[in-house]
Amino acid sequence: MHVLGVVAPEREAQVVADRLADRFGDEGRVAVVRRTETGGTRDESGARAESATATYELGDDGWTVRGRDRSPSDLLDDLAPDHDYALLVGFPEADVPQLVVGDAGASTDGAKDADEVAGDVLLEAEAAENVDPAEVRARLDATEPYETLESLVAEVKRSEDAPYSGAIATFTGRVRAKEDPDDEPTELLEFEKYEGVAEERMDAISAELEEREGVFEAAMHHRTGVIEYGEDIVFVVVLAGHREEAFRTVEDGINRLKDEVPLFKKEVTTDEQFWVHQRS
């Protein structure tokens, strides 16, 4: 799933998001997440359902979802398995590619200009009418997609060979705090990769794994940027006829990814920070 933030004055943000949703909808499923100030929803008695973590309502215009204590990343995790694009409207703090339109300081989201958004600025436009949806989509498709373990599982399940599959095996790598009790705790890792080269190598590895007897689909994804302790780093998912091929291929897949894909890792502990390849 590709994610785009829209930072703009409220009226222009609405116009831009609607135009982009229409254009992106020609290519796949689109989710639009808007920030509002309305608070909780009401139950049948008219009282606010403040205690609900999330409330789903089905009306004449479709589904409406309200929730509390939900971060943008929580929402994206929920959306990734079933959507091709997500538009975050009014979330300048989200670390996603951002489209900044007009005088963003006039919006209610608090962002004043492109320098104050958290993610990389994909495009800037003076007004809503200056936004070309085709150009935005082309640039967005060139960015790194937002993937989760669940989105990769959903992807392999859509395979034409799924009826012949009796097993899905997965691997998730995460940020570990310590190797030994006396180690200084790791606070975060930061990953960099050769743009294009890493993706090509992972695609080649997946294609080679899929040539094995009994293996139908192999998918893998490695996150880049800053990843904090406890967060997921890398996923490998294999759809196969039987568990033996699935387990064996997942293990080979993560081993080959670590050995063959050009990735650089910086480790930040409570005492120091260093690039791991410089100490090996």
Give the CATH number of the domain where residue 212 resides: 3.90.1170.40
Residue 195 DSSP class: T
Last residue of a domain, one of 96, 124, 141: 141
Find all residues with CB under 8 Å of 28, minimum gap 6, and list them.
83, 84, 85
Last residue of a domain, one of 106, 141, 176: 141
Are 71 and 188 members of one domain? no
Are 129 and 169 members of one domain? no
57: Cα separation from own chain's centroid: 25
Domain limits at 108? 2-141
Are 119 and 158 members of one domain? no
Q: Mark out the alpha helices in the chain (DSSP H runs).
A: 10-24, 72-79, 133-141, 149-157, 197-210, 243-260
- Report how far apart, in Å, the C-alpha atoms of 209 and of each of 84, 198, 216 are: 25, 17, 9
Give the CATH number of the domain where residue 55 resides: 3.40.50.300
d(CA 262, CA 246): 25
Compute the half-sphere exposure of residue 161: CA atoms within 13 Å on the CB side of its CA: 17
| Partners of 140 in the β-ladder | none
Q: How many domains does the chain have?
A: 2
Are 195 and 85 members of one domain? no
Are 187 and 213 members of one domain? yes
Are 94 and 155 members of one domain? no
Q: What is the pLDDT along the chain (280 residues), one digit of tens a residue?
A: 999 999 999 889 999 999 999 999 998 999 999 887 654 444 444 445 556 677 777 877 777 777 777 788 888 999 999 999 999 999 999 999 999 998 754 444 444 455 678 888 999 999 999 999 999 999 999 998 999 999 999 999 999 999 999 999 999 999 998 888 888 888 899 999 887 799 999 999 999 999 999 999 999 999 998 999 999 999 999 999 999 999 999 999 999 999 999 998 888 887 777 767 544 4
Are 107 and 215 members of one domain? no
Last residue of a domain, one of 108, 123, 141: 141
pTM value is 0.82
d(CA 224, CA 233): 8
